[in-house]
Structure 1
Amino acid sequence: MKNGFQTLDREVVVDDLEVRGELPRWLSGTLVRNGPARFETDRRSFRHWFDGQAMLHRFGFADGTVSYRNRFLDTPSLRSVRDEGRISFGEFATDPCRSIFGRFFTRPRLAPNPNVNVVSDGDRDWALTETPIAVQFDPDTLATVGLSDHDDAITGQVTTAHPHQAPLTGDLVNYVLKFGRRSVYQIYRQRGRTRELLATLPTDRPGYLHSFAITERHVVLVVFPLVVNPLSFLVRGKPFIENYRWRPELGTRFVVFDQQDGSVVADRRTDAFFAFHHINAYDADDRVVVDICAYPDAEVVDALYLDKLRDGVELPLPFPTRYEVDLTGDGIRSRRLAEDALELPRISYGSHNGRDYRYAYGVGAFGNGRNDFFNQLVKVDVRSGRTSRWHEPGRYPGEPVFVAAPNARAEDDGVLLSVVLDVDAGRSGLLVLDAATFEEIARADVPHAIPFGFHGRFTSTAH
C-alpha cells in the first residue's frame, strides 16, 4: 500500500495496453484522472497526501482497445520543486521554504498545484484544486496550456475543485471564499467564459468546505464546524489547514439558496459532523435531500498526513448519510443510507445530478476495517440500503467513474472505470466493472504504479 504514496517520475505513452477480458464496443472516449505524483524535493518532503504535485493520467478507449499516457502539469509549483529543489508555494499542509523572518513579512502565495479534479467549461479543459487558480491542459497530449484568466470582481483565496453543472441550465456553479474581517462565500454561475455572481454569505468563522450540493432549484452549502479565524493565516505561521479548529459546539450549518435569485430559503443547524464529499442532492416537496459521505469529526484530515499513511494509521471511515432539510420548519432529519463505508462517491451524473436517484458508487473498506487504506469498491442502493462490493486482497481501487451505455434503459446501465493499485506486482491497472452486476468485464495494466489519486472525468466520443 505504501507505493500508493511514492513519487512517480516516469512519463510514458502506451498506444495499446494489453486488455484481459473484453471491453464493450460502445465504450469510446477518454478518462482523464488527476492526483498527486511527486511528494518531495531533493532536500524536503511534502507533509500531506493533498500536497503532492499534480499529474494527469489519460486512458483512451476505441474499438475494444485502451491507450495510456501520463504527464505532470507544468506549473510554477512543480518547476520550483523539480528544478530548484524548493517548495516555494504554500500547500494544504506544507509551508514554503522560508525563514522565520521571511515567513513573518511575506504572505503565502496561492499554490498553482491543481491535483484534485478535472472539468470542462465547454471548449477548454481544466485541472482544479482548492485555490482559485485553474490550469488549462490539452485533453489529448495532457500538455499544460496556461493558467485561468477570469477578469471579473469574483476574487478570493479558496474555492472547491467540485463545480457542479446546474441540472436545468447547464451552467457551471461553484463558490469562492474571500477572507477578511468579515469573510464571504461568493456563489457564482459560469456560462462559457463569463462568471456571474449568484449569492453571497458573510461569515465570521468560515469553515473548510471541499464540496457543496446542487439540486434543480437550489444550491446548498454545508458548513462543518472545522473553522478558521482568517487572522491566523497572518500571525500563526502555520500551513493552511493547520489554522483551522474543530468546534463541534457550533454544529453543522445547512444554508439553502434559491438558484434563480440567490436568496436564502433555509438556514438550519444540526449536530456536528464532517465530510469531504457530497454524493447527490435533490428537491422533494418542501424539503431538500442532501446525501453526504459523513465522518463523525475532522480526525480524518490529520490521518491523511503522509507519515501516518505510510505507517498504516487507523483510517476514520465515512458512511453515506442522508440529511433532509425542511424548508418550511426548523428541522433537519438524518439517517445512514447503508452500513458500508463510502468515499470518493460517484453517480450517473449526466442523468441524475441534482435529481432523485437510486445508485451511488465509491471506494470503501473491506469489512469496514480501519487498519488499511480504501481497498474495495462499493455500490449503494440508497433506497433499500443494499450494497454490492468488489474486493481483491492486495489491490486498492480508486474512485469509480460511471459511464452510461448508449440508450441506457436503467440508471445503472453502464460500466465503472477505476484505477487499481496491485501492491504485490508494483503496478496499477484500469478495472472495468459492469455497473449493474458489479462483475468484472476487463482490466488493463499500465507499466508502473500510479500513486493514489482523487478524481477524474470521462468524455465520450460521438459515434
Structure 2
Amino acid sequence: MGYDYGKNRSEHPEPIQAEVEGSLPEWLQGTLVRNGPGLFSVGETSYNHWFDGMALMHSFTIKHGEVTYRSKYLRGDTYNSNMQANRIVVSEMGTMAYPHPSKNIFSKVITFLNHTVPDFTDNCAGNIIKYGNDYYATSETNYIRKIDPVTLETQDKVDYQKYLAVNLVTSHPHYDKEGTTYNMGTSIADKGKTKYMIFKVPAVGKSASEESPALKNVETICTLPCRSLLTPSYYHSFGMTENYFIFIEQPLKLDILKMATAYLRGVNWASCLKFHPEDETLIHLIDRKTKKEVGMKYYTGSMVVYHHVNAFEEDGHVIFDVIAYDDNSLYDMFYLDKLKEQDTSGPSKTFSKPKCKRFVLPLNDKGEAGEDLVKLKYTKASAVKEKEGKILCQPEVLTEGVELPRINYNYNGQKHRYVYLTVAEKAESTMITKLDVETKQRLDWTAENCFPSEPVFIPRPGATEEDDGVILTSVINCIPDESDYLLVLEGKSFKEVARVHVNAELHIDMHGYFIPQND
C-alpha cells in the first residue's frame, strides 16, 4: 500500500488541535514549518512531475506539551493565475504550460516569443529559509515568497534580481551563530559571462522598523567563472566551514540555449538538463577571508550531488560529506507516470542508489606526484597529487541508500558525529536512520506502511552532547483508519518519545525549518 503522489491535498488553514500520544519534553517549544508540492491538477490539466506540484506549507506548533497543526497553499502569482484560469498556465521545470486551445494563431505566436526568454515560476515548494527576521518559501528560481510562519499567509514576492544578478539560487543556505545567511546562485550570460556567486545577507536587529526585505543589505562574497558560458552546472546546495566554502561543479549541466527554445520545441525545461558522465567533477574551495579560491585544483570522478551533509576543518584538511549519485536518474524517477509504475511494480530499476560519501581536501599540496596527501588516520578518503599538479580526490563511502541529511545544526561547519537521514529504496522513504560517522553504525526507526519525511534534529537548550535533543519527522500512515502523525524520537537512543496524531491528511513534503519559540 503506497502513497498517491498525484492526488491533490486539502489545506487546513485554521489550527487543528493534535492528540499527543506519549509526552513531549518541556523544553520543546516552537514551530516546525515544512514545505512541498501538494496540488497536481487544475481543471483538466495536470503536472507531469511531482516536484512541479503547487506549494503546500504545513506547520506543527508545540507549546507547553500541546501541538496545533495547520496547512495552507502558497498564494503566489503562479497559484493565483492557475486558479483563475482553471488550468495550468505557468510552466514548471518538468511541465510546460501551453496556450489555451481557443487562442488564435497570432496569440500562440506571441506566447511562443514570450517564452523564448522565460520568466520563472514563483511556486516556491522546495524549502523554508530565513533572511534577516523574515521567513520565505523558496525553490531554485529568482523568486521567493515571504510568509507568516504562524498563519502561513503568503506575503511579498521578492525577486533576487533586484539585489543580485542571479537567475537561479539554492534553497539550502547556511546560517552562522550571529544570524547571517549565506547562499549561492548562478548568473547566466550577464555581460557576456556566466558565473557562480556566493553571497551573504547580514543579520538584522529585532526592531519592527528594520527594513524588509533583508536582501537590501546583500553582499557578494565572491564569484567563480563557469566552465562554459551556456552550460552552467546544476547544484542544489554547498558546504561551509569556519574558513571555507565548498562548491561542487558537477557534470550535470543546464543547456541555456535549449532552455530558451524549449517552449517553441514543445519540450519541458528538465529535458535541457543533461548529465555528462565523461566529464570530471571539479571541487572548488573558497577562502572566506581572502574571498578567493585556493590555489589547489581538486577533482573527482563524475557524480551528481543534491545535498551536502556538513563540512569541517581538521589538521590542515577540509572534510566534507555529501549524498552522491552515479547519475541523474533520481529526477526522472519522480515523473508522476513513473511513480505510478513503481507503486505496482516495486522499486525503480533506473534509480541510482545514493551513497553518503566523505571527501578530504588537503590544504597543503607539498608532496611527490602519486602521493596521497591525506594524513588523517580515521578516514579511507584519499587525495592523490598528479603530475600536472591537480589533486584526484577519492571518497570514503560512509553508508548507502540514504537521503535528506540533517545534523545538529549547532555543529554546522564543525566536526560532527551524527547524521539523521531517510532511507530511500523507492520514491518514498519507509525508514529514518541515525548514522554514527565514526563507527558507521546505524539506528533505524520504521513502521509498517508508514512513510516518514526528512528528520529534523532539535537540540536541547544548554546541551553539551551532540545528540542530546529530539528528532521530528512527519509520518504518512497508509494503514486504513489510522491517522498521520508527527513522530518525536529521543536523540540518543533514537526511540519514540511521542506520536502527535493529526486529524488531517498530511502530504509528503521536501524540507522544513524549526523556529524556536523565543526566535
TM bracket, shorter-chain basis: over 0.9
Q: Any residues of structure 2 matched to 1:398-413 within 5 Å, and which?
A: 398-413=453-468
Deviation at 1:152, TM superposition (A): 5.2
Offset of residue 199 of structure 1: 0.9
- CA shift, 1:14, in A, is 3.5
2:413 counterpart residue number: 354
Q: Is the 8 A contact 1:152 1:195 kept in 2?
A: no
2:99 and 2:359 map into 1 onto residues whose CA distance is: 44
2:119 alignment partner AA: R
Match of 2:211?
none
- Residue 341 of structure 1 is matched in structure 2 by 401
Instruction: Report the residue type matching 1:346 in the other structure.
Output: R
Structure 2: which amino acid aligns with 1:363?
A: T
Offset, 1:151: 7.3
C-alpha distance in 2 between matches for 1:176 and 1:260: 20
Q: What pairs up with 1:23-422 in 2 under 5 angstroms?
A: 23-98=24-99, 101-102=109-110, 104-106=112-114, 107-148=117-158, 154-166=164-176, 170-180=179-189, 182-192=193-203, 193=214, 194-203=217-226, 204=228, 205-237=231-263, 238-265=267-294, 266-312=296-342, 314=348, 315-329=351-365, 330-338=391-399, 340-349=400-409, 351-365=410-424, 370=425, 373-422=428-477
Distance 1:134 1:152 in 2: 12
Return the letter of the residue paired with 2:489.
Answer: L
What one-letter code is carried by the residue in structure 1 that aligns with 2:509?
Answer: G
Distance 1:173 1:183 in 2: 20
User: Cα distance 1:382–1:95, how it changes in 2: closer, same or farther (>3 A)?
Assistant: same
The CA deviation at 1:131 is 0.6
Letter in 1 for 2:11: R
Shift of 1:409: 2.8
Any idea what SS the aligned residue of 2:304 has? coil
1:311: Cα distance to partner?
A: 2.1
Q: Which consecutive unaligned segments of at least 5 residues does structure 1 have?
A: none
Match of 2:23 in 1: 22
Per-residue CA deviations over 1:145-204 (Å, capped at 9, x if unaligned) read: 11125575512221100011146x542111121222541111111114211111111211
Aligned to 2:499: 443
- TM (normalized to structure 2)? 0.84
Return the letter of the residue paired with 1:198: I
Change (3 A) 1:336 1:103: farther
- The alignment yields a C-alpha RMSD, in angstroms, of 2.0
Identity %: 30
Q: Give the superposition deviation at 1:371.
A: 5.1
Q: Secondary structure at the match of 1:308?
A: helix
1:202-227, CA deviations, whole angstroms, 9 ceiling, x for partnerless residues? 21131110111111111111122111
Q: Cα deviation per residue 1:287-319 (whole Å; 9 max; x = unaligned)?
A: 221100111111111111111112215143312
Matches of 2:161 and 2:333, distance apart in 1: 38
Mapped partners of 1:30, 1:188: distance in 2: 28
User: Do the aligned residues in 2 keep the contact of 1:280 with 1:353 (CA within 8 Å)?
Assistant: yes
Distance 1:57 1:372, change over 3 A: closer
Structure 1 stretches of 4+ moved >3 Å: 98-104, 149-153
2:333, 2:427 within 8 Å by CA — same for their partners in 1?
A: no
Distance 1:223 1:241 in 2: 19
Q: 1:371 to 1:125 in 2, by over 3 A?
A: closer
Q: Is the 8 A contact 1:303 1:316 kept in 2?
A: no
Closer, same or farther: CA 114–289 of 1 in aligned 2, 3 Å: same
Contact between 2:309 and 2:406, CA under 8 Å: does it hold in 1? yes
What is the Cα deviation at residue 405 of structure 1?
A: 0.9
Residues 143 and 160, structure 2, Cα contact 8 Å, conserved in 1: no
Matched residue type, 2:414: R
Q: Measure, in 2, the Cα distance between the counterparts of 1:400 and 1:85.
A: 36
Give the secondary structure class of the aligned counterpart of 1:411. coil
- Return the letter of the residue paired with 1:401: V
Equivalent residues of 2:132, 2:179 under 8 A apart = no
Separation in structure 2 between the aligned mates of residue 239 and residue 188 of structure 1, nearest angstrom:
30
Report the Cα distance in structure 1 between the residues aligned to 2:254 and 2:305, rounded to whole angstroms: 16
State the 1:374 CA deviation.
Answer: 1.3
Alignment-mate amino acid for residue 28 of structure 2: L
Instruction: Verify the 8 A CA contact 2:35 2:125 in the aligned structure 1.
Output: yes
Partner AA of 1:328 in structure 2: N
Distance 2:284 2:44 in 1: 45
Report the alpha carbon displacement of residue 87 of structure 1 after superposing the two structures with TM: 2.3
Partners of 1:149 and 1:109 in 2: CA distance: 11
SS at match of 1:2: coil
The residue aligned with 1:454 is 510
- Structure 1 CA distance, aligned partners of 2:243 and 2:145? 30
Structure 2 distance, partners of 1:383, 1:425, is 40
- Residues 81 and 425 (structure 1), Cα distance of their counterparts in 2 relative to 1, 3 Å cut: farther
What one-letter code is carried by the residue in structure 2 that aligns with 1:26?
W
Cα separation, 2, equivalents of 1:258 and 1:243:
33
Report SS of the residue matched to 2:197: strand
Contact 2:323 2:403 in 1 (8 A): yes
> 3-state DSSP class of the match of 1:337?
strand
Runs of 5+ in structure 2 lacking a partner? 101-107, 204-213, 366-390
Deviation for aligned residue 1:277: 0.6
| Paired letter, 2:14 | V
Instruction: State which drifts further: 325-334 or 256-265.
Output: 325-334
